[in-house]
Amino acid sequence: MIKRAILFGGKAIVSVLDTTQTVNKAIEIHGFSRSVAVAMGKALTVTAFMSGNFKGAGNKLTIIIDGNGAGGKMVLCGDFGAKVRGYIENPRACEDADAEVSQIVGKDGALNVIKDFGLKEPYNGLSQLVNGNIDEDFAYYFTASEQLPSAVALGVKMEGDECVKAGGIIVQPMPNCSPEEIFVLEDIVSNFTNVGELLCEKSAEEIMDFYFGHFQISRLPDICEEYLCSCSRDRIESMLITLGKEEALEIVRSQGRIEVGCEFCNRKYVFTEDDVKRLFE
C-alpha cells in the first residue's frame, strides 16, 4: 500500500509505502539471497513510488541501475498504478554472508530512468550513483534530473530468507515550501534511519499520522502496488512474427523448439514447429 498526503496546504508531498508483499513475491520468483533481497526490495519500493505517481493508464517506467556491484545490472519496470517487476543479473550474489547494499549495487556507475508517456520520444534521465545505497542515489536523481529535491528513506527487514517488512518514506517539498518548513521536514526525515524496523512498529497509516499529521495534512487516494509481470504468450508470438517465418522455422529445426523465458517472472514459453507454422498461417 502507498499512503500519500499533501502538507502545509500544498507545499510538500509525503509518501509512505509498505511494499512487503511485493518484495516477498520477487523473492519467491527469483530466489534472491538475503543481501540481494534487501537491495532489490529498496529498488522495487522506489519503482512503486515513481509509477504510482503516473497520471495516464499507458504510462510506463524502466529503471536501470548499473554500478558494477556483485549483483550485476538491476532492471526494474513500473506501470500505471504501481504495478512493478524487476530482475538482477546475479540473484544469489553474496549468499554466504550478509553484504551491504552498496556491495550488491556497486558505486561505479549510473542510474538511468526512462519514462514512456506515449509521446514521440520517451523521457530519459541519467545520474551518477552517489554511494550505491539506493536511498541517496535516488534522492540525488530526483534533485539533479527532475529538479525535485527529495528526502528518500528506504528499508527492508529480513528474517532468514523472508522479508518481514519493506517500504519507504519519501518527502518532496514544492518550490513554494519555505526554508523553515524544509528544515522541519529534514529534521523529521533524519529519524528514519531504519524504515524496515519502523514498519514493524507502526503501520504506514500510523507513520503518516504520527510524523506528519499535524502539518495541515490533506490525504490523497491510497494506491495498491503489486508485483505484476506484463508478459504473455500473445506478446511473445508477436515478437516471433517479427523474425519472419523462415528464420523462426530455422531456429525450430536446429534446436527442436523455440523457448523464450521472461526475466521478470521466470515463465517459459515453448513453441514447436507446428506452433510456428500456425503463427504464419
Domain of 259, CATH number, reads 3.90.1280.10
**223 shares its domain with 237:** no
Q: Provide the CB-side half-sphere exposure for 125 (13 A, CA).
A: 18
Q: Read off the pLDDT of residues 93-134 as tens digits, 9 standing for 90 and up.
A: 998 878 999 999 999 999 999 999 878 888 899 999 999 999
Shared domain check, 243 and 220 = no
- State the first-to-last Cα distance of the chain, in angstroms, to the nearest integer: 46
Contacts of 47 (CB under 8 A, 6+ apart): 61, 63, 76, 77, 78, 84, 86
Q: Label each residue of 129-160 as H, E or C.
A: CCCCCCHHHHHHHHHHHCCCCCEEEEEEEEEC
Same domain, 69 and 181: yes
Does residue 55 share a domain with residue 184?
Answer: yes
pLDDT beyond 90 at 141: yes
Do 244 and 197 share a structural domain? no
**Residue count of the chain:** 281
CA distance 188 to 36: 29
pLDDT digits (tens, 9 = 90+) for 48-93: 999 998 888 889 999 999 999 999 999 999 999 999 999 999 999 9
- Same domain (yes/no): 128, 94: yes
Same domain, 189 and 156: yes
Contact 98, 34 (CB under 8 A): yes
Give the residue numbers spanning the domain of 251: 233-279
CB 264 within 8 A of CB 85: yes
Q: What is the CATH number of the domain that holds 67?
A: 3.55.30.10
Q: What is the pTM of this model?
A: 0.90
d(CA 230, CA 70): 28
Q: Do 79 and 182 have their domain in common?
A: yes
Residue type, 205: E
Best CA proximity match to 186, nearest among 138, 133, 139: 139
Is the same domain home to 193 and 270?
no
Decide the pairing of beta strands 110-116 and 83-88: unpaired
- ∠ at Cα 219 (218, 224), nearest 5°? 165
Q: Which of these three, 187, 208, 227, is where a domain ends?
A: 227
How many structural domains does the chain have?
2
Q: How would residue 14 be classed by pLDDT, with cut points 50, 70 and 90?
A: very high
Least confident of 138-147, 149-158, 176-185: 176-185
* 12-44: burial string, b at 16+ Cβ within 10 Å, e else: bbbbbbbbbebbbbbbebbebbbbbbbbbbbbb
